[in-house]
Amino acid sequence: MSEFLQSLLTDYSLITGFAVVGLIVWVSYQLSRKLTHGRLHGSAIAIFIGLVLAYIGGEITKDQGGKKGIADIPSLAGIGLMGGAMLRDFAIVATAMGVHLPELKRTGLAGVLSLFTGVFLSFFVGACVAWAFGYRDAVSITTLGAGAATFIVGPVTGTAIGASSDVIALSIAAGLTKAILVMVGTPFVARFIGLNNPRTAMIYGGLMGTTSGVSGGLAATDPKLVPYGAMTATFYTGLGCLLGPSVMYFTIRWIVGA
């Protein structure tokens, strides 16, 4: 029976992958709702579980030359396709659907400046941390700087400029850490920064950028503000994916000379 089940899961590994990811997401949102009352967004918990499973998969398959984490387990190989560039980029495009430029104009010049300030500041901080930890090549520094922007911008940038899987994984971890900090910290700082209306929510989303972090943080602050912050945070992700492999990479390459 076990051999039949393993063969079935392996033959239909993509369906198995969807089922496993769906189960992880469901469990993550249950944990978010029951343990944190929504303050820690379910997507962040799901990403953390995914990173843990990737490590476990790597440990299990390292003696067989595995390099793709849990996707090296035959019955879970479909997760590798789900996490590949095709579906990842499709998810990014789907996230941006329904966002219209005229709506962004409601924040005026401050909203546009918040986007560029947030992206460049995150890249700069991430690049400085990467340099402090001994990274000296432009590809790694740019990828980790992109990860400090969001956990989506990191792998998109890293894949585009040829970063190693280890560096891409670190960029995702950096983005996840940022998302969790934004989720937890937003309700505490909202009163001090005037985060109580749609305009400031849109500016805040443009500065922070992490859609899941901003959404979770605003949900704990005032659920009515979530769509406004999430909208500019989505623009932030798109802007980061555009600037990361181009302007940021060539700037870092010019600075470090490699």
Residue pair 175/181 in contact (Cβ under 8 Å)? The answer is no
Which of 150 and 64 is assigned the larger pLDDT?
Answer: 150
Which among 193, 180, 202, 194 is positioned nearest to 114, based on CA atoms? 202
Q: What is the pLDDT of residues 214-241, one digit of tens each?
A: 877 887 788 788 888 888 888 888 888 8
Which of 122 and 55 is assigned the larger pLDDT?
Answer: 122
Confidence (pLDDT) at 150: 87
Amino acid occupying residue 64: Q
Non-local (6+) Cβ contacts of 39 within 8 A are 183, 184, 187, 216, 220
Residue pair 82/18 in contact (Cβ under 8 Å)? The answer is yes
| Six token digits for residue 153 | 């911008």
Distance CA 207, CA 114 (A): 5
Confidence (pLDDT) at 102: 67
3-state secondary structure of 143: helix
**Which among 60-69, 80-89, 106-115, 147-156 has the top mean pLDDT?**
147-156
Distance CA 114, CA 131 (A): 25
> Token match 């947030």: residue?
118
Residue pair 71/79 in contact (Cβ under 8 Å)? The answer is yes
Kindly state the DSSP code that residue 64 receives in the 8-state scheme.
G
Q: Tell me how many degrees the CA angle 8-13-14 measures, rounded to the nearest 5.
A: 135
Confidence (pLDDT) at 95: 53
Q: What is the pLDDT of residues 98-148, one digit of tens each?
A: 555 665 666 677 778 888 998 999 999 999 999 999 888 999 999 999 999
Confidence (pLDDT) at 6: 67
pLDDT of 174 strictly over 70: yes
Distance CA 155, CA 89 (A): 11
What burial letters (b/e) apply to 129-155, b meaning 16+ CB within 10 Å? Answer: bbbeeebeebbbbbbbbbbbbbbbbbb
Average per-residue pLDDT in the chain?
A: 81
pLDDT of 13 strictly over 80: no
Which of 45 and 102 is assigned the larger pLDDT?
Answer: 45
